[in-house]
Chain A
Amino acid sequence: MTPAIELAGIDKSFGAVHANRSVDLAVMPGSIHGIVGENGAGKSTLMSILYGFYEADAGEIRIGGKPVSIRSPADAIGHGIGMVHQHFMLVEPLTVLENVMLGAEGGALLKGGAGKARAELTRLSEAYGLAIDPDAVVGDLSVGLQQRVEILKALYRGAEILILDEPTAVLTPPEADALFALLAQLKAQGRTVIFITHKLREIMAITDRVSVMRRGEMVATLPTADTSPPALAELMVGRRVLLRVEKAPRAPGPPVLEAVGLDVVDAHGVKRLSDVSLTVHAGEIVGIAGVAGNGQSELLEVLAGLVQPSRGAIKVGGDLLPPHRRHPARLRELGLLHVPEDRLRMGLVPSFPAFESAALGFTGDPAFARKAPLGALFDRDAMVGHARALMDGFDVRPPDPWLRSSKFSGGNQQKLVLAREIERRPKVLLVGQPTRGVDIGAIEFIHRRLIALRDAGVGILLVSVELDEIMGLSDRILAMCGGRITGERRADATDAQDLGLLMGGVSEAA
């Protein structure tokens, strides 16, 4: 059978970064083809080349056996390729109909094309069970519905080959299941789907074949039935990886962090947290499961003292905190430390050398000050030495305290932030998205350190959008939806299905 798409010897460099090295790929028509790889392995670059977003330095693209030249997205669309980008390519203030029509308006005046577009949109919606209001403003739609618009956009343009880049990152498990059902339906119609992800579970669940990329190279293409998650992980990283975290049961100690009835209202007057209560005990990891944007960020911020609750009480180490003590510096003194979700925005200063980033939040530490005059000057040697010690302890590479923070890879930046907080011996640690944008090798390391910290008696509150991470690390799991806690489960007595329902807002009480 002729492959629907063949990429031969695709090569692409961005300056010194060799993003794709002579990549070959053949995708069979009417199949779902998965592409996995770590961050920066070159998956998105490869797909952007196929979609005409970038031009390859060398190599050939063949569609249905014929060599084609794809120099712009317009060419790709003309060849029947549609792409659902990880960050949606939707214009938020415009309506669904306008977004679908953009670039395929069917005439200089909108009036002519709009009627036809509306009819076609209705037909597609019905054919695929993708109900949507054509006149809704896209910015008002949920993320799941926005993705639906993206897919409809591609189908409207007659895409025979659909590329999806990390499509499940923003979806609840039930939404992801609905997406998978849709992909299966497209496949049954003979369309070809290319599915990029880093979640091995999804690869196993829906793909026919899977290709693995590592450092810009295509290292393997296998029938999915002949492989397994550990085998794929090994191919991705290039060595054996422990996917499951080893964790011994441990009896939790006394409560170290308690929140009672927290409400948070944002600057626009919108309620972000409603009546959130939780307790974290010493020697326990409490995971917060939820789809991004359901109040987890606000929860971390309010507990870290970055925003003030409009109602509710917070206790640290059993002491009720009056408002003036709910301040990041006071909380640090009490042993409540915070590894923020967005390391580049809140965790470190990208333009600072690593040793300065490694001292953030602790710049008042006498160990960093010269004795004379009056401790007003920094002792830079002490700071560099401190950073070097952190780097050794957490295997930060390269171990160069003078390197700009932005020059480290995501995983190494994260290890640096984590090292800075953990070395201060917290009693309570708030951790947000500890492995976002972090490669598999570093994920394993970070997970082991968090478990070690728990075993040492620290209470950890873990917020992550990666359900596998939450289930693997936590002792107890709280699910959040729409700023509320919708349920609590013991980690050993739940599964993705169950949590997915809670994350989707199906409350306990129901």
Chain B
Amino acid sequence: MDLQSLAVILDSALRLSVPLLCACLAGLWSEKSGVVDIGLEGKMLIAAFAAATGAHASGSALIGLMAGIGASVAFSLVHGFASISQRGNQIVSGVAINMLAAGLSAIVGNAWYGQGGRSPALEGQARFNDITLWGTETIAAVPVFGPLFREVVSGHALPAYLAFAAVPLTWFVLARTRFGLRLRAVGEKPAAVDTAGISVPLLRYAAVTICGVLCGIGGAYLAVAQAAAFLPNMTAGKGFIALAALIFAKWRAWPALGACLLFGLLDAGAIRLQGASLPVIGTVPVQAIQALPYVLTVILLAGFIGRAVPPAASGIPYVKER
């Protein structure tokens, strides 16, 4: 494989991993605080819809991003209200959010635009354009690394860079700050946090809000950067794959980046392999290739990653004794 096709595959892997990474980090924040969120998928979807709508209406991708984040955070707070204040079942609430987002985006989209749930195509400033990182041309002169940097690292849209920046930020906040310590504690043992004089609900609401912001970025990336419109069910299970990546990464930020890049790479490989003829096996059916990331997920989760212990209190509403 020559350098050029390697660069294309890696670039494509990076692009495909962005929504996964957003959702995975979103899930990390939520679960670290003790709130299980299987509604990542729904939140990304509603964010994608809101972002496309906002960008279309305003003609500004940035406003689209804000709209996406706003919609996603609103859904997060619904999940938070159900699981933190009302101490409801977090799985049920998450499923409800997924169904609500899928239905709402399709029906409202159809009512507004009459294109079978699609939003009108976004053009010009209504779309995030690829950013050429400063100094790219200088570095491009360096053999091998230079072109790779230009093709792979540079030339992505703003939400993608936000997503990658969120990795060190997440790590730093969780590991090194007061807020992070409290958040880790509340996901393991909320009673200890409560008796230390810190509000459990406040911490958890903060965490689900961050979760909403990250899902919003992911959704906006899908509709306003990767594609140029909202398509019904355009998240296509990425919110669930992200949950798998989260377990694979054992709820840690840097490994989450690794897991999402791996899934992105598989996706990119699958796209590239479509229709290609492989030695010995011949042409592989497209469906088999597309199933690869999912098969890998099952295999990884089936025990190839060792023990993955979730935060002890995740999924359990906090109730004072009695």
Residues of A whose CB lies within 8 Å of any CB of B are 14, 51-54, 72-77, 83, 85, 87, 89-94, 98-99, 101-105, 107-111, 113
Contacts and interface: CB of A to CB of B under 8 A. Distances in A.
B320 A105 contact: no
B185 to A, nearest CB: 5
24 contacts: A14-B322, A53-B195, A53-B320, A54-B320, A72-B197, A73-B196, A73-B197, A75-B197, A89-B189, A89-B191, A90-B192, A94-B181, A99-B192, A102-B192, A102-B193, A102-B196, A103-B182, A107-B178, A108-B177, A109-B177, A110-B176, A110-B177, A110-B178, A113-B178
B320 A91 contact: no
- Looking at B189, B195, B196, B198, which has the most chain A CB atoms within 10 Å of its CB? B195
A102 B322 contact: no
Interface string B154-198: 000000000000000000000011111110110011011111111
A400 to B, nearest CB: 24
Contacts of B195: 51, 53, 73, 83, 85, 89
Interface residues of B, number: 22
Contacts of A73: 194-197
Given A52-B197, A91-B184, A108-B178, 19 more contacts: A51-B195, A53-B320, A72-B197, A75-B197, A77-B197, A85-B195, A87-B191, A89-B189, A89-B191, A89-B196, A91-B185, A92-B312, A98-B185, A103-B182, A103-B193, A103-B197, A107-B178, A108-B177, A110-B177
Question: 3 tightest CB-CB pairs across the interface, nearest first?
Answer: A74-B197, A103-B196, A89-B192
B318 to A, nearest CB: 13
A193 B21 CA distance: 51
Given A54-B320, A91-B189, A110 B181 contact: yes
Contacts of A98: 181, 185
Nearest to B175: A110
A93 B186 CA distance: 12
Contact of B188 (A51, A72, A77, A93): A93
A110 B181 CA distance: 8
Contacts of A107: 178
Contacts of A105: 178, 181
A94 B176 contact: no
A113 B320 CA distance: 29
A8 to B, nearest CB: 23
A209 B197 CA distance: 30
B176 to A, nearest CB: 6
Contact of B179 (A74, A108, A111): A108
B242 to A, nearest CB: 23
Contacts of B312: 92-93
Given A53-B320, A74-B198, A83-B195, A94 B178 contact: no
Contacts of A99: 192
B196 A94 contact: no
Contacts of B191: 87, 89
Contacts of B182: 102-103
B174 to A, nearest CB: 11
Contacts of B177: 108-110
Nearest to A104: B196
Contacts of A110: 176-178, 180-181
Nearest to A111: B176
A105 B176 CA distance: 11
B176 A92 contact: no
Q: Output the residue of A52, A54, A92, A102 with the most chain B CB within 10 A.
A: A102
A109 B182 CA distance: 12
Contacts of B193: 102-103
A354 B196 CA distance: 41
Contacts of A91: 184-185, 188-189, 192
A133 B188 CA distance: 21
Contacts of A109: 176-178
A90 B189 contact: yes
A87 B192 CA distance: 10
Nearest to B188: A91
Nearest to B196: A103
Contacts of B197: 52, 72-77, 103
Contacts of B185: 91, 94, 98, 102
Contacts of A14: 322
B197 to A, nearest CB: 3
A282 B189 CA distance: 47
Contacts of B322: 14
A104 B178 CA distance: 9
A77 B188 CA distance: 22
B110 to A, nearest CB: 47
A140 to B, nearest CB: 14
Contacts of B194: 53, 73
